[in-house]
Amino acid sequence: MLRLKRAAVLVAAMATAALVLLGAAGPASAAGSSAAARNVSQSTATHQSAKPPAGNQIVVVNSFEAWATQKASVAVTTSRSVTGSGFYVRIYDYTIGAYIGTCDTGTICTAYETSPVAASHGVDAFIADNSTSFPPGHIQSEWDNSALVWKGTYLDLEASATTAAPGATVTLTSTAGTDISSSPFSNEIFDTTTGALLASCKTGTTCSVTVTEAQATTHAFTAYFGDNGTTAPPAALQATSQTTYVTWTHSGWTVSLSAAGGVWVGSTFTATATASADVGTAHYYIEIFNENGTLLASCASGTTCSASVANAGYFTDLVAFVTPNSTTLPPSGLVAASNATETLGYVPFAI
């Protein structure tokens, strides 16, 4: 099952869903998102105040989404031209608290914005005066159920085997949640142990590469969605996969890890690692780590080891090992690595 990465993608998706459910936009943006490089369709002509055309109304607001860093747009269409009326079409982004479009001619007014990451901004449109206040004065018509949306994606990195014999080939596959062909970014896989770029893909949903090691060793691998580059993390980073560990060893040990796919933020869940044999007979431990480096559980006997995990954020990534007793990630002298798991944190969304 694919797992989400990056809170920005989640928040943007939740915000967009809320806008649809409400039928009236509300503030909703990804953490760290900001609007920049505005290019607004606007006339600088000055008109004397006059009565607006009778019955002039906003009849439709169309939004056109874009990838993060590219221009998303919103187009407001009025029933009659505002030319010479003394009134304006005003487009207001209330996520950033600013007018992003003002037009005093024609029947269509279009505004553009960019965001460095995936996001959703609520937008209001008015036929009103040209005041700087919000809402503007002398409102003739209002439309408040639109949004500017910047797309993102998530990455899931899987290894065909997380424990293999030296010399064996392992396939790494990074899967994006959507086709990235139209995006300005690349799906890249790095060996984070050596820093080497292993694969870079700009189309489709998957990117794969094979890796092998002749000697007993463990390597960590991570996928990134961002600018095409040879160093990790790349510039304009949009998404990061969980870290996947592969151990090449003659030990014969294996270990797997299971955990909940999603729980409410602030609640706890249980993660269970299962080894191929009783670790007590070989003086090994089953250890479960949060991928932030925290050791969550260490069991000196049996074939299973469980940890109660507090889900404090949007994503909790875990991995398990069979290893001598160790508190560092990855443990030294490990003889088996598990698949990485990721638990999504559900956030109550007030509407």
pLDDT of 37 above 90: no
**Cβ contact 345:262 at 8 Å:** yes
Write the CATH number for 94: 2.60.40
In this prediction, residue 145 has a pLDDT band, given cuts at 50, 70 and 90, of confident
Of the pLDDT bands very low, low, confident and very high (cuts 50, 70, 90), residue 54 is low
- Cα–Cα dist 73/40, whole Å: 9
* DSSP per-residue letters across 84-120: TSS-EEEEEETTTTEEEEEE-SSSEEEEEEB-SSSEE
CATH at 222: 2.60.40.10
pLDDT-above-70 percentage for the chain = 83
306 strand-pairing partners: 272
Q: % helix / strand / coil in the chain, to the nearest 5?
A: 5, 45, 50
Of 347 and 211, the structure prediction assigns the larger pLDDT to 211
Q: What is the pLDDT of residue 47?
A: 30
Q: Is the pLDDT of residue 108 over 70?
A: yes
Are 94 and 12 within one domain? yes
pTM, two decimals, is 0.81
Question: Does the structure show a pLDDT above 90 at 261?
Answer: no
Q: What is the mean predicted confidence (pLDDT) over 163-175?
A: 98
Task: Decide which of 313 and 247 is more confident.
Answer: 247
Same domain, 165 and 218: yes
What is the span of the domain harbouring residue 236?
153-250
Residues 169 and 244 in one domain: yes
In a domain, 318, yes or no: yes
290/185 same-domain check: no
What pLDDT score does 6 carry? 42
Higher pLDDT, 97 or 20: 97
18's enclosing H/E stretch is helix 7-22
Q: Looking at 203, 219, 250, which one is the last position of a domain?
A: 250
φ and ψ of 131, to 5 deg: -70, 160
Q: Span 35-50, mean pLDDT?
A: 33
How many Å apart are CA 60 and CA 66, to the nearest integer? 20
Q: Are residues 139 and 12 in the same domain?
A: yes
Look at residue 210 in the predicted model and tell me its pLDDT: 99
Average pLDDT (178-190) is 98
Instruction: Using pLDDT thresholds of 50, 70 and 90, give the confidence band for residue 61.
Output: very high
Indicate if 317 and 209 belong to the same structural domain.
no
Residues 190 and 270 in one domain: no
Closest by CA to 122, choosing from 33, 237, 4, is 33
Task: Look at residue 1 and tell me if it is in a domain.
Answer: no
Of 41 and 170, the structure prediction assigns the larger pLDDT to 170
222 lies in the same domain as 207 = yes
* 156: pLDDT strictly greater than 60: yes
Question: Do 54 and 144 have their domain in common?
Answer: yes
* Number of domains forming the structure of the chain: 3
Least confident of 219-228, 269-278, 304-313, 318-327: 304-313
Listed residues 125, 151, 177: the one ending a domain: 151
Map tokens 């995936």 to a residue. Answer: 118
Amino acid found at 123? V
Q: Is the pLDDT of residue 182 over 60?
A: yes
Same domain assignment for residues 11 and 147: yes
- Asked if the model's pLDDT at residue 347 lies above 80, the reply is no
Q: Which is it for the CA torsion 123, 118, 235, 72, positive or negative?
A: negative
Among 37-46, 104-113, 128-137, 199-208, where is mean pLDDT lowest? 37-46
Please report the pLDDT score of residue 53 as a whole number. 47
The pLDDT-based confidence of 349 (bands split at 50, 70, 90) is low
In a domain, 226, yes or no: yes
Facing residues of 187 across strands? 201, 225
Nearest to 2 by CA among 126, 155, 108, 125: 155
Residue 20, in any domain of the structure: yes
Could you say which of 226, 250, 274 is where a domain stops?
250
Do 52 and 115 reside in the same domain of the chain?
A: yes
Confidence (pLDDT) at 196: 98
Would you say residue 23 has pLDDT above 90? no
Is residue 177 one of the residues assigned to a domain?
A: yes
Mean predicted confidence (pLDDT) in 236-246:
97
Q: What's the pLDDT score for residue 344?
A: 86
Please check whether residue 324 lies inside any domain of the structure.
yes
